Amino acid sequence: MLGSVTDAWGITDGYHDIDGMWHATADSTRAALRDLMGDPTAAPPAWCVQHGSTPGLWGPCTIRLEDGTEVGPVRSLPPDLPIGYHDLVPVDGGPVTFLVVAPPRVPDAPRASGLSAQLYALRSAGSQGIGDLGDLAALLAWAAREGAGAVLISPLHAPSPTFPQQDSPYYASSRVWMNPLHIRVPGLPEDLDAPLVDRDAVWALKRSALRSWFITSSLGGGWRRWVDAQGSSLWQHAQWCALAERNGPVWQQWPAELTHPDASGVAAMDPADFDVEFHAWCQWLVSSQLAQARRAAPTVALIGDLAVGFDPCGSDAWRFQRTLALGWRVGSPPDMFNRTGQDWGLPPFNPIALRAERFAPFIETVRAAMRQVSGVRLDHVMGLFRLWCIPPGADPAEGTYVRQPSDVLLGIVRVEAHRAGVFVVGEDLGTVEDGVRESLHRCGILGTRVAWFDAEPPQRWPEECLGTVTTHDLPTIAGVWLGSDGDSAMRDRLTAITRASAGALSHEVTLAAHEALARSPARLRLATLEDLCGMTARPNVPGTVSEFPNWRRRLPLRIEDFARTGTIRATMQAFRETSRG
C-alpha cells in the first residue's frame, strides 16, 4: 500500500509492507531526491485533456498547435482541437502549458489466441546461433497457417555493440533502436545444435559479416534516405555506438568532450564517419527485415514488448541524461515474491526534468515501441503511476515511491497508439495500488492474467486482458509438474485447472492447461513456446546473474518441427476450435 501523502516533488511519506508494517520515507532519502529533482515549480506545467472536451481556461490563451498553426485567443478549449501535442500560451504572459489532447482510449485489441516467443530462442532452417528476424518470419508464417491471431515477442531493444554482449533484452542500451544481433545475414553458416545462445560469438561473426556487407552494398541511396528521415535520434544513437566501440561501453568514463550528444567532441565527428554510418545502416537493415517478417503473415497481430527501463551506461541514458535521476535505480520494495525487494539497476526519469523537456524522451520511446507492430506490451505498467526509487548505494528496502505524472503519460500512450493504430497491453502483475487497473481499463489498455497467481480459473477471467499460464520470469508447466521448479501451491493450482491425476505425463498436463486457457473469455490468450516445447527450465530466474543461463536457452525444436509435435498441434487446434466457437 502506498503512503497517502506526497509532497510537491511527488515523494511519498512511506508505505505499508506485505505484513502491514509501516515504513516511513527516510529524511535523508527525501532530501537527496529533492536536491536531485530540483524546484518543482521551475518546469512549465503540463495538462492532458480528452479529445472533444471543452474545459474552461484560467485566462485568455492562444493555442499553438503541433503544426505551428495558432488558434485564439480563447477562454476555453475548442471541441475540434486535433489529437496531439500543443501549447497553451497565456495572452497576459506566464508559463506556457504543454497540452496533450488524447483520445479516450487506445485502439481495441483483437480477440485472438496465439503464442508468446523469446525471439533469441527461436531456431529454424538458416538460424545463425540466435533467433533472428528470418526465424520470426518463419514463426509468423507457421502461426498464420495454424490459425493463430497474435504473437508476442521479447523486446527488440538494442544492446551496446561492445563485448561482452548483454544477455537480457530487458536491460538494453536503447529502447528506441533495435538489436542488430537479430539481423539474418546471408551466407553465414547455420547453427542449429547449440542449446544456449552465445551472444559474444554470434555478434563477433555477424559484426564482421555485416561490416563487409555494408562496404559492398551501402552505396545506394535508399538506406540513407531512411536514415535521414529518422532525424537526430538515430544519428546520435549511431554516434554513441561508434564511440562505445572506441572508448568502452560506459559513457561516464569517456573524455569530457564526448559525454553528451552536444559536447564538442561529438559535434566535431565527421558526418561520413564509417563506424557511425555502419551502425545507422544496421538499424535500416533491422527495420527492413522486421517489415519483411510482418509481410510473411499479415493476418497475425505482432505484439512488441517495451521494457520498463534501460542501462544507465547506454545510448538512451547518454542521450536523455538531462532528464534522468542518474545514480538512482528503479526496483520494488519487499513483497511476497522477494522478501528483500528488487533492484533492477535502471535509472528513473526525473518527472520534473521530463516535464521541462515536454516529455520528449518518453514520447520518442513510446513511438518507437509502436513502430511496425500491431500491439505493444508495457512492462511494469504500474511505473506510469509510481516508481520505487532506490538511493545510490542503498538496498532496495531503503527506497521510496515517487509519483509519476500518470495523466500525461497515459495521454501520450493514447496519442501514440491512436496514431500508430496499435493496441496496448499492460503488465500489471505484482503489487498494484488501488485505482491503477481502473485507469488502465478506462484507457482501453488490457491487463494481464497469469494462471500461477490468479485465484480464479481461466474460465472466469475478465474479457479485457491478456491471459497466459506463465511468463518468461516464471516456471514452465513441465517444470512445475515434474517438481524441478515452482512450488506446491503452483502444482496445486495446475491440478485444479487441468484436473490432472498425479500420474499424468507433463505433455498431457500442458495440453490440458492450454485447453482451459482456450476456454477463457480473455481477449488475448497466449501459450509460451517454452511450454509447448516441453521445457522444464524458464527463460529467466529473477534475482540471479551467474547461477542460471538466463536469457540464453534456445528452444529444443525447430519451427519446422512444430507441425510434427503432438502437444503443439493439439494446442493450436484447441485455440482454433475455441476461436470458431
Rounded-to-integer distance, Cα 412 and Cα 223, Å:
30
DSSP secondary structure string for all residues of 397-444: GG-EEEE--HHHHHHHHHHHHHHHT-EEEE---S---TTHHHHHHHTT
Which phi-psi region, left, alpha or beta, contains residue 269 (left: φ > 0; alpha: ψ -120 to 50)?
Answer: beta
Condensed to tens digits (0 to 9), the pLDDT of residues 385-434 reads 999 999 999 998 889 999 999 999 999 999 999 999 999 999 998 878 88
Q: Is the dihedral of CA 34, 409, 152, 311 positive or negative?
A: negative
> What is the end-to-end Cα distance of the chain in Å, rounded?
41
CB 233 within 8 A of CB 240: no
With 80 as the cut, is the pLDDT of residue 520 above it? yes
Q: What is the CA radius of gyration of the chain?
A: 24
CA 459 to centroid of chain Cα atoms: 28
What mean pLDDT value characterizes the chain?
94
DSSP H/E element including 217? helix 199-217
Residue 3, pLDDT above cutoff 60 = no
Residue 303 has pLDDT above 50, yes or no: yes
Q: How is the beta sheet containing 375-378 ordered, strand by strand? A: 423-426, 375-378, 301-306, 150-153, 112-117, 524-528, 465-468, 447-450
CB 397 within 8 A of CB 333: yes
The mean-pLDDT minimum among 14-18, 422-426, 553-557 falls in 14-18
Q: How confident is the model at residue 2, as a pLDDT? A: 44
Residue 252 and residue 236: Cα distance in Å, rounded? 16
Contacts of 260 (CB under 8 A, 6+ apart): 266, 318, 321
Q: For the segment 451-508, what is each residue's pLDDT rounded down to a tens digit?
A: 999 999 999 999 999 999 999 999 999 999 999 999 999 999 999 999 999 999 999 9
* Single-letter code of the amino acid located at 323: T
Q: What is the mean pLDDT of residues 362-366?
A: 98
pLDDT at 4: 59
Q: Which of 148, 183, 121 is nearest to 559 (CA)?
A: 121
For the chain, give the number of residues.
581
- DSSP structural state of residue 558: -
Model confidence pLDDT, tens digit, residues 26-69: 999 999 999 999 999 999 999 999 999 999 999 999 999 999 99
Tell me what pLDDT residue 259 has: 98
pLDDT digits (tens, 9 = 90+) for 262-291: 999 999 999 899 999 999 999 999 999 999
Mean pLDDT of 180-184: 98
Mean of pLDDT values over 165-187: 97
pLDDT at 1: 40
Q: Report d(CA 134, CA 559) in Å as an integer.
A: 11
Kindly list the structural domains of the chain, giving each domain's residue range(s) and its CATH number in brackets, ordered by start.
52-102 (no CATH), 112-309+428-580 (3.20.20.80)
pLDDT tens-digit map of 104-159: 999 999 999 999 999 999 999 889 999 999 999 999 999 999 999 999 999 999 99
Average pLDDT over residues 546-567: 94
Q: What is the helix (H) or strand (E) element at residue 189, kind and residue range? A: none
Hey, what's the cell of 77?
Answer: 478549449
Res 546: pLDDT: 79
pLDDT of residue 191: 79
pLDDT at residue 336, as a whole number:
67
- How far, in Å, CA of 202 to CA of 537, rounded? 23
Encoded amino acid at 458, one letter: P
Where b means 16+ CB within 10 Å and e means fewer, 459-488 reads eebbebbbbbbbbbbbbbbbbbbbeebbee
Q: Which three cell numbers stand for residue 340?
A: 528483500
Q: DSSP letter at 160?
A: -
pLDDT at position 219 over 80: no
Q: In whole angstroms, what is the distance from residue 38 CA to residue 530 CA?
A: 47
* Among 124, 272, 231, 224, CA closest to 184: 124
Torsion (CA) 457, 458, 460, 461 in degrees, nearest 10: 120
Name the nearest CA neighbour of 131 among 309, 293, 352: 293
Pairing mode, strands 524-528 and 465-468: parallel
Q: How many CB atoms lie within 10 A of CB 456?
A: 11
**Range of lowest pLDDT (193-197, 516-520, 577-581):** 577-581
Evaluate if residue 19 carries a pLDDT over 90.
Answer: no
Cβ neighbours for 99, distance < 8 A, ≥ 6 positions apart = 46, 47, 48, 49, 63, 85, 86, 87, 88
pLDDT at 193 over 50: yes
| pLDDT at residue 377 in the model | 98
Share of the chain above pLDDT 90, in %: 87
**At 170, which helix (H) or strand (E)?**
none
Distance CA 186, CA 420 (A): 31
- Give Cβ neighbours of residue 46 (< 8 Å, ≥ 6 apart): 97, 98, 99, 100, 355, 358, 359, 405, 408
- The DSSP H or E segment spanning 215 is helix 199-217
